[in-house]
């Protein structure tokens, strides 16, 4: 099992990670496990993409009744989280004019509603503990508009606002809540969208006709690079950081 370069221990801590079967969620779950945490992965899939060092519990976060039932079961097992990472996400392509209504609702139900359901179910737990960390995985697409990605951009922007409101509500209880917003990252989602090495290079170089900048660092991000940021925000190294959104995209989102 690969080791994270971040010098932070999660021994004795319980960490819940949604979307843990693949992509960024899988790498986050494995990284926490490598640092000594008891990791509960939550995913609608029953098998992870690689060697697995954590428990994987089947859960469709877009279904509120499932979220409530699974949360109650895990809390009864004394597996309440010290850290919650909401990494589950879906991408459905389409413009405002032509996106299928079902695709719009799928993006909202997974990317926003699923996080809301978990946060609401676990709010009493975090308030009672008076400590803990929550990290929500968004996207740089929540910071800048993208052609043909209306539902995804809107859902990630909504997630950012939800994350900040949650941070404000939990601050007086000693619970921190932050956001990590990756750019183009080498995940199954990105590979399915791009489809070829030529498309990957075009993403790195940018699409001027689509008003999309390239990546100044000249490479696609790796899931571990995003996971490292999640680990930092969940650790005591970030003990005075809350209500923030760290963009991890190689400089693709130019900000002043």
Catalytic one of 26, 117, 152, 207: 152
**Is residue 84 within 8 Å of residue 136, measured between CB atoms?**
no
DSSP string, the chain: -PPPSS----TT-EEEEETTTSHHHHHHHHHHHHTT-EEEEEESSSS-SS---SEEEE--TT-HHHHHHHHHHHHHTT---SEEEE-------B-TTT--HHHHHHHHIIIIIHHHHHHHHHHHHHHHHT-EEEEEE--GGGTS--TTBHHHHHHHHHHHHHHHHHHHHHGGGTEEEEEEEE-SBSSHHHHHHH-SHHHHHHHHH-BGGGTB---TTSS-B-HHHHHHHHHHHHSGGGTT--S-EEEESTT-S---
Concerning whether 152 is annotated as a catalytic residue, the answer is yes
Q: Could you list the active site residues? A: 152
């Amino acid at each position: 099992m690969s080791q994270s370069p971040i010098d932070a221990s999660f021994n004795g801590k319980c960490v819940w990670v949604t979307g843990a079967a693949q992509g960024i969620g899988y790498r986050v779950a494995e990284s926490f496990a490598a640092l000594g945490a008891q990791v509960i992965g939550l995913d609608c899939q029953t098998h992870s993409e690689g060697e697995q060092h954590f428990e994987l519990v089947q859960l469709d976060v877009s279904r509120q009744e499932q979220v409530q039932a699974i949360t109650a079961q895990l809390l009864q097992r004394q597996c309440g989280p010290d850290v919650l990472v909401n990494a589950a996400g879906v991408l459905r392509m389409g413009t405002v004019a032509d996106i299928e209504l079902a695709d719009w609702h799928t993006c909202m139900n997974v990317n926003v509603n699923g996080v809301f359901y978990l946060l609401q179910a676990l709010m009493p737990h975090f308030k009672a503990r008076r400590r803990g960390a929550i990290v929500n995985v968004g996207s740089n697409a929540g910071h800048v508009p993208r052609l043909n990605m209306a539902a995804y951009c809107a859902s990630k922007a909504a997630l950012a606002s939800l994350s900040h409101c949650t941070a404000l509500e939990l601050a007086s209880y000693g619970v921190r809540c932050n956001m990590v917003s990756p750019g183009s990252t080498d995940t199954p989602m990105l590979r399915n969208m791009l489809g070829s090495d030529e498309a990957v290079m075009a993403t790195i170089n940018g699409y001027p006709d689509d008003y999309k900048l390239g990546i100044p660092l000249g490479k696609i991000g790796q899931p571990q690079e995003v996971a490292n940021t999640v680990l930092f925000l969940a650790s005591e190294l970030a003990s005075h950081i809350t209500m923030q959104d760290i963009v991890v995209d190689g400089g693709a989102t130019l900000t002043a």
